């Protein structure tokens, strides 16, 4: 594209690989593991970084570069890379930067696998973590050690939809010279841009809203160039690269990212309001609902409330599973960000490996159900839930 400053919707559509001599309009799939050179000298220069060229698809690939460029522009980050999954993005953003003996502070309200990485995998290499409250930042200072290097958080959090004050976290990281890594998966760059609040790195599971149709896995890390160089070195040699096919699928989907995310938000907000007073529910949780304890903060840092609504069924674990079993149209699945509505029971699935005590501390009660609100007609989504609730 030219040097004109384009808006996000245009960027997501018009950022494209250079057209080949075939004149294709849509980006072709560069399904190649390596690239060929005219001479050994040319290949040596490419390997040495003297010339900028694709060498091997573990390092670079045109489809991957297109995807990464879109995310960097949308997240206002100077550099980025793509990985095979969101978890590879989470892992490499920490393992690529921290050393043995380093410490990080992490929000207690994180996706289950991120907690496993922080609590059980990284400590094997001497990298330790102290969990802090996602909402009240006043206790964060007490968690600091002389070796603290990073703050890691996600907002809104999966699944309980806690909102962490990004400006506050940015100021904390700045004051203590820490890397601030924000998992922006639930908001997507359409709703929230953590770099504007002082984040050093933004992480995505591109499996979610970026793909948006529940087909492929992918992850993104984007951020400051000096940090990204280190993560790129780690990934180049440890190999969690995304498949060119997945990058091609996700990049094409991103052409409708803004449209879809805004439509998901509209659906979710409407569903939350329609279910608010349902007698079979103990609670309905949505960041932009008036009764969300952090609605003002959510409105300050997000364009809309996101596509996830959580409910707490009046009843126990068994009754909650019964409710899920009575859903007819809504899928029972662990994914989110799909055009199809999905119900997930975090206690028995995505967050089942956390201790019960840790789950309860962040509001993951046995009666909590997470809905990824899809793009089916809102009346059909609501009816599916009402019918299932009437049967328990
Ligand atoms: C907030 C968050 N981060 C990271 C991930 C991991 O992404 P992936 O499943 O693509 O590895 C997920 C998956 O649900 C998630 O919800």
What's the pLDDT tens digit per position in 12-23?
999 999 999 999
- Residues 346, 232 share a domain: no
Pocket of ligand 1 (CB under 6 A): 85-87, 90, 111, 113, 154, 158, 183, 185-186, 205, 207, 217, 219
Report the pLDDT averaged over residues 72-82.
Answer: 98
- Residues 222, 99 share a domain: yes
Residue 79 lies in a domain: yes
In a mutational test of the pocket of ligand 1, which residue from 163, 192, 207 has the highest number of ligand atoms less than 8 Å from its CB? Answer: 207
Q: What is the largest CA-CA distance in the chain?
A: 74
pLDDT at 307: 98
- Residues 262, 172 share a domain: no
- Residues 347, 227 share a domain: no
DSSP letter string over 313-330?
ESS-HHHHHHHHHT-SSS
pLDDT at 300: 98
Average pLDDT, the chain: 97
In a mutational test of the pocket of ligand 1, which residue from 185, 194, 211, 306 has the highest number of ligand atoms less than 8 Å from its CB? Answer: 185
* % of the chain surpassing 70 pLDDT: 99
| Residue of the CA atom closest to atom 15 of ligand 1 | 111
Q: Indicate which atom in ligand 1 lies nearest the CA of residue 219.
A: 10
Q: How many helices (H) and strands (E) does the chain have?
A: 14, 12
Domain, as residue range, for 144: 8-256
CATH number at residue 290: 3.90.1150.10
pLDDT at 179: 98
Going by the DSSP 8-state scheme, the letter that residue 242 receives in this structure is P
Å from CA of 112 to ligand 1 middle: 9
C-alpha 321/C-alpha 318 separation (Å) is: 5
pLDDT digits (tens, 9 = 90+) for 139-194: 999 999 999 999 999 999 999 999 999 999 999 999 999 999 999 999 999 999 99
Going by the DSSP 8-state scheme, the letter that residue 157 receives in this structure is P
Å from CA of 216 to ligand 1 middle: 12
| Residue of the CA atom closest to atom 9 of ligand 1 | 86
- Residues 144, 60 share a domain: yes
Report the pLDDT averaged over residues 121-138.
Answer: 98
- Residues 269, 229 share a domain: no
- Residues 101, 62 share a domain: yes
pLDDT at 4: 86
Q: Taking 70 as the threshold, does the pLDDT of residue 1 lie above it?
A: no
Query: Which structure tokens are listed for 348?
Result: 């028995």
- Residues 249, 137 share a domain: yes
| Residue of the CA atom closest to atom 10 of ligand 1 | 86
Report the pLDDT averaged over residues 329-335.
Answer: 97
- Residues 262, 251 share a domain: no
pLDDT digits (tens, 9 = 90+) for 41-76: 999 999 998 999 999 999 999 999 999 999 999 999
Q: Indicate which atom in ligand 1 lies nearest the CA of residue 334.
A: 14
| Residue of the CA atom closest to atom 7 of ligand 1 | 86
Å from CA of 114 to ligand 1 middle: 8
Is the Cβ–Cβ distance between 386 and 354 less than 8 Å? no
Residue 362 lies in a domain: yes
- Residues 198, 56 share a domain: yes
| Residue of the CA atom closest to atom 6 of ligand 1 | 86
Is the Cβ–Cβ distance between 295 and 304 less than 8 Å? no
Integer-rounded Cα radius of gyration of the chain: 21
Is the Cβ–Cβ distance between 112 and 351 less than 8 Å? yes
Residue 130 lies in a domain: yes
Helix H or strand E encompassing 257: helix 257-275
- Residues 309, 245 share a domain: no
């Amino acid at each position: 594209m030219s040097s004109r400053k384009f808006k996000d919707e245009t960027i997501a559509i018009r950022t494209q690989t250079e057209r080949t001599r075939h004149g294709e309009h849509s980006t072709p799939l560069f399904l190649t593991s390596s690239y060929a050179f005219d001479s050994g000298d040319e290949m040596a220069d490419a390997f040495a970084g003297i010339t900028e060229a694709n060498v091997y698809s573990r390092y670079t690939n045109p489809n991957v570069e297109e995807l990464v460029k879109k995310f960097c522009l949308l997240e206002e980050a100077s550099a980025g890379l793509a990985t095979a999954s969101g978890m590879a993005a989470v892992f490499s953003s920490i393992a690529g930067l921290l050393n043995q003996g380093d410490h990080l502070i992490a929000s207690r309200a994180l996706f289950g696998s991120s907690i496993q990485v922080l609590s059980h995998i990284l400590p094997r290499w001497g990298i330790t973590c102290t969990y802090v409250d996602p909402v009240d930042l006043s206790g964060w200072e007490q968690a600091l050690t002389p070796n603290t290097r990073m703050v890691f958080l996600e907002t809104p959090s999966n699944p309980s939809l806690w909102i962490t004050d990004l400006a506050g976290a940015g100021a904390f990281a700045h004051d203590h010279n820490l890397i601030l890594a924000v998992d922006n998966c639930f908001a997507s760059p359409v709703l929230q841009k953590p770099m504007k609040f002082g984040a050093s790195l933004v992480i995505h599971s591109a499996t979610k809203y970026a793909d948006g149709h529940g087909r492929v896995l992918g992850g993104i890390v984007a951020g400051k160039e000096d940090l990204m160089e280190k993560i790129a070195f780690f990934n180049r040699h440890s190999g969690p690269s995304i498949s060119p096919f997945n990058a091609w699928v996700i990049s094409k989907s991103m052409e409708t990212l803004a449209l879809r995310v805004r439509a998901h938000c509209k659906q979710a907000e409407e569903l939350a309001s329609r279910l608010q007073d349902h007698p079979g529910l103990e609670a309905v949780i949505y960041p932009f609902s008036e009764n969300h304890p952090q609605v003002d903060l959510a409105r300050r840092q997000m364009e809309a409330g996101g596509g996830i609504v959580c409910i707490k069924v009046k009843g126990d674990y068994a009754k909650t599973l019964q409710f899920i079993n009575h859903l007819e149209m809504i899928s029972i699945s662990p994914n989110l960000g799909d055009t199809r509505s999905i119900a997930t029971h975090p206690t028995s699935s995505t967050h089942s490996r956390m201790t019960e005590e840790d789950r309860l501390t962040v509001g993951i009660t046995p009666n909590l159900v997470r809905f990824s609100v899809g793009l089916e007609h809102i009346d059909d989504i609501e009816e599916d839930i009402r019918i299932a609730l009437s049967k328990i």
